[in-house]
Chain A
Amino acid sequence: MESLMSFLTGPGLIISLAVFFIGLAVRLVLYFMGLDWRLDRVAYKPHMSEGMRGGLYSAYKWLVPFGTFGWRAQPFFTICFFLLHLGAVLVPLFLTAHNEILRMRFGFGLPSLPQGVTDVLTVATIIGLFFIILRRIALTEVRIITTAYDYFIIALVAVPFVSGFIARVSSAGSDGWLLVHIISGELMLVLAPFTKLSHIVLYFASRWQLGADYSIKRGGHRRGPCFPW
């Protein structure tokens, strides 16, 4: 147990973080290398500054809650989405316990959010996931496109959050939950580049592309600098 734990928080952690970061970086590079101005029918290079402006705006605009027509059209999902993602992005990075481990092992860590805040964010994530699952079951238009793989991804994200939260709130005998948390968390990191979770970076790639497409080719200067998302 002791040695498993020290493996998981030592070499195991290093490996999963390396796979996660290198893997995602590779996916991002491969994405942009695979853009083809002739096949995509977007002249990226000659109009790079318009493309950049439209692309970055398109990625940014969709990160603002209710910031786009699309988000405003679906208030319920928008709330679930931001509940889920606020925690999913912030908690792993800024949780005190995570940064303590980092400091212990590697001698550096990120600043931490107060415990109360990360608790709230964790609960938000879990609630967000819960309603996203409900929505998948309840709405026919979502059910028809839902696959087992979607539930696998949701589970891959849910397990580390739920187990981590239980380990944190149950005072005694939480080693089991902690173990589940660490294993599932590292599994998530390792699998992210190879699954739909790669959207962590590919979101930016894909949103950039469509924004650039609209600013370079489908409207460009005639519309004003950016598409009105």
Chain B
Amino acid sequence: MPEGQLCNRTPISTEEALKALLADKGGKQYYDEMTKLDVDTVKLWSTIEKTCKTRTKTWLEICAHCGLCADSCFLYRCNNADPEQVPAFKIQSTLGEIIRRKGNVDNAFMRRAMEYAWSRCTCCNRCGQFCPHGIDVGVMFSYLRGLLYSQGFVPWELKIGAGMHRVYGAQMDVTTEDWVDTCEWMAEENGEEWPGLEIPVDKEDADIMYTLNAREPKHYPEDVAEAAILFHLAGENWTVPSTGWEQTSLSMFAGDWEACRMNVEKVYDSIERLRPKRVIGTECGHAHRATVIEGPYWMGRPDGLPPAEYIHYVEWVAEALRTGKLKIDPAKRIKEPVTLQDSCNYVRNHGLGKYTREIMSYLADDFREMGPNREYNYCCGGGGGFNGIGMYRKQRNVALLTKRDQILATGCKLVVAPCHNCWDAIRDLEEEYHIGIKWTFLKPLLIKMCIVPDHLKPQEEDGEE
């Protein structure tokens, strides 16, 4: 069978196709069809010839096969030093082999490559820091994902995820109407406790435009409310766009570069439409990577920068605490030992570790670093889409061991995780391994700890507080 009904080389671009794929619970038929999916070797090779240039070719060629990268990969470590988890092995036996064979690979090869690309690498880029030649296997795996996706070899959930972005412009079926309704609802719901609370939609020329993760309006609307409350507390002049608010990119995990571009285009369009002074993205790592770090390139922006200054939530929080826009009640500082998850996507890959530490210095009396940390921190275990792929659940659960042991070594029972993916992974690791920890985003912590100026408090009848 050349192409299946559900499993094929065509991206999902209609609601109908999306629903059909969703109806195939767990991807049973999808994976079944995948075992018979033909590889279009001519197209594969011509894509490689067009897109694989000297950086990648040189990486593959000069790799000394020295194995120095082995120990740097958390998946190698938590899989009992399995040699098949050595980064150089993983990439040489997949991407390297495809190129050596000039694209002449078969179905079984591609399915193995898929397993490697999505269950043996989270694209955390840590190994690249340990290779003497500066070979970044994570970058190459991301490239490989693109090749596999274009041939239809992609885990079911991610084919759906990329399809969601193409069909709804968001990783979940949240329409513009749903989104605007959620904003109104949350502003109303919290208006009593926070008089004057607003979630201004499509306000032009605001100081801040806020973008977020579709999961927030869909499953955790209180997160949207918390963001609003904190901007309100800080006295910010802010807005959210009615379209182009979705900052995440499951298409990046899937390797669907066209869908990535489409998503970022929406966000950038809204920046151009509303002309905010700057844009702030929510507490999410991969969303920041997609929209701020990689996005400009998907859009072909020669300066590699988004159309306006675009910062991560932690940068704003650090600034708000530094300038006193948000003030922490000293009595409410966290007394118990607390540790911090460094998200690879904005710490290793965007240097924001100093801001999260600055924040912790305001919040915690007993802040304890994981070891290693900052740029050298290990992936939470669920990055790069790993968290969401049912077929690789077992492997993902093993992958959580590194983080579990890092957390245990700190002796902390509270983990601050300002990244959706890390947050999920840490929640799952508690569910899986029961180490008795709690985990949190920054927003709920801040709301509990911030001093509320009198004029923002609800006015009680007798004026008594």
Identify the closest chain B residue to A58 (Cβ): B134
Partner of A141, one of B59, B61, B67, B129: B67
A143–B296 Cα gap in the complex (Å)? Answer: 41
A77-B68, A141-B76, A216-B304 in contact; A199/B375 too (CB < 8 A)?
Answer: no
**Cβ A43 vs Cβ B350 within 8 A:** no
* A30 near B300: Cβ-Cβ < 8 Å: no
Q: Which residues of B contact A147 (CB under 8 A)?
A: 65
**CB of B408 within 8 A of chain A?**
no
Query: Is the CB–CB distance between B294 and A35 below 8 Å?
Result: no
A211 close to B71 (CB less than 8 A): no
A-B pair count, CB < 8 Å, reads 148
| Distance of A60 from chain B, by nearest CB (Å) | 12
The answer to whether B351 and A220 have CB atoms under 8 Å apart is yes
Q: A42 to B304, alpha carbons, bound, how many Å?
A: 7
Q: Which residues 32-86 of A have a CB within 8 angstroms of B?
A: 32-43, 45-47, 58, 62, 69-71, 73-74, 77, 81
Which of A36, A40, A145 gathers the greatest number of chain B CB atoms within 10 Å? Answer: A145
Task: Kindly list chain B residues whose C-beta atoms are within 8 Å of the C-beta of A141.
Answer: 67, 70-71, 76, 81, 83, 86
**Is A111 in contact with chain B by the CB < 8 A criterion?**
no
Cross-chain contact A144 with B83 (CB below 8 angstroms): yes
Out of B62, B65, B84, B376, which one reaches A142, CB within 8 Å?
A: B65
A224 and B374 CA atoms in complex are apart in Å by 14
- Cα separation A139 to B81 with both chains bound (whole Å): 11
Q: Which residues of A contact B305 (CB under 8 A)?
A: 43
A202 to B293, CA, bound (A): 27
Contacts of B66 on A, CB cut-off 8 Å? 77, 142
A211: contacting residue among B88, B134, B300, CB under 8 A: B134
A14-45 vs B, CB cutoff 8 Å, 1 = contact: the mask equals: 00000000000000001111111111111101
Query: Smallest Cβ distance from A70 to chain B, in angstroms?
Result: 4
Residues of A within 8 A of B57 (CB): 34
What per-residue 1/0 map shows which CB atoms of A195-223 lie under 8 Å from chain B? 01011001101110111010011111011
CB-CB < 8 A to B109: which residues of A? none
Is there contact, CB below 8 Å, between A206 and B134? yes
Contact A217 B134 (CB under 8 A): no
Q: Are A144 and B84 in contact (CB under 8 A)?
A: yes
Taking the complex as formed, is A3 at the interface, i.e. its CB lies under 8 A from any CB of chain B? no
Question: Is there contact, CB below 8 Å, between A206 and B135?
Answer: yes
Contacts of A228 in B (CB 8 A): 374-375
CB contact under 8 A between A70 and B300, given known A140-B81, A206-B59: no
Is A175 on the interface with B (CB-CB < 8 A)?
no
A199-B64 contact, Cβ under 8 Å, with A35-B55, A144-B83: yes
Q: Does B14 contact A (CB under 8 A)?
A: no
A147 to B64, CA, bound (A): 10
**Most interface-central of B71, B132, B374 (chain A CB within 10 A):** B132
Asked if residues A217 and B293 are in contact (CB atoms below 8 Å), the reply is yes
Contact B351 A46 (CB under 8 A): no
A7 at the interface (CB under 8 A from B): no
**Contact status A31-B58, CB under 8 Å:** yes
Whether, in the assembled complex, B243 has its beta carbon less than 8 Å from a beta carbon of chain A, the answer is no
CB contacts under 8 Å to A, within B8-27, are: none
| Distance of A59 from chain B, by nearest CB (Å) | 8
- Judged by a CB distance under 8 angstroms, whether A227 is at the interface is yes
Give the most central of A198, A209, A224: most B CB within 10 Å.
A209
**At the interface, yes or no: B397 with Cβ under 8 Å from chain A?**
no
A106 interface contact, C-beta 8 A: no
Which of B51, B130, B303, B376 is packed against the most chain A CB atoms within 10 Å?
B130
CB–CB B376/A69 < 8 A? yes
Interface membership of B392, Cβ < 8 A: no
Which chain A residue has the least Cβ–Cβ distance from B303?
A46
Q: How far is the CA of A139 from the CA of B83 in the complex (A)?
A: 9
Q: A203, B375: Cβ atoms under 8 Å?
A: no
**How far is the CB of A205 from the nearest CB of chain B, in Å?**
7
Task: List CB contacts (< 8 Å) of A109-166 with chain B.
Answer: 139-147, 150
Which of these, A39, A58, A146, A217, contacts B53 with CB under 8 Å?
A39
Measured CA separation A150–B63 after assembly (Å):
10
Which residues of chain B (98-139) have a CB below 8 Å from chain A?
128-136
Report which residue of B64, B86, B134, B294 has the largest number of chain A beta carbons within 10 angstroms of its beta carbon. Answer: B134
A229 within 8 A of B: yes
B367 proximal to A (CB < 8 A): no
Q: Are A219 and B130 in contact (CB under 8 A)?
A: no
Say which residue of B53, B81, B86, B302 sits within 8 Å of A145 (CB atoms).
Answer: B86
Chain B residues contacting A34 (CB-CB under 8 Å) are: 53-55, 57
Interface string of B272-311 (1 = CB under 8 A from A): 0000000000000000000001101100101111000000
Chain A residues within 8 Å of B293, by CB: 217-218
A-B contact pairs, 23 of them (CB 8 A): A32-B54, A35-B53, A37-B302, A38-B297, A41-B294, A42-B304, A70-B129, A73-B71, A77-B66, A140-B81, A141-B71, A142-B67, A142-B70, A144-B83, A145-B65, A145-B86, A150-B64, A202-B61, A203-B62, A203-B133, A206-B62, A206-B133, A218-B350
If A62-B134, A198-B62 are given as contacts, then 10 extra A-B residue pairs at C-beta distance below 8 Å, sorted by A number, are: A34-B55, A41-B297, A41-B304, A43-B305, A74-B71, A145-B65, A202-B58, A202-B61, A219-B351, A223-B351
By a beta-carbon cutoff of 8 Å, the part of chain A in contact with chain B is 30-43, 45-47, 58, 62, 69-71, 73-74, 77, 81, 139-147, 150, 196, 198-199, 202-203, 205-207, 209-211, 213, 216-220, 222-224, 227-229
Report the 5 A-B pairs with minimum CB-CB distance, sorted nearest first.
A223-B351, A34-B54, A219-B351, A43-B304, A210-B134
Interface residues of B (CB under 8 A from A): 51, 53-55, 57-59, 61-68, 70-72, 76, 81, 83-84, 86, 88-89, 92, 128-136, 293-294, 296-297, 300, 302-305, 348-352, 354, 374-376
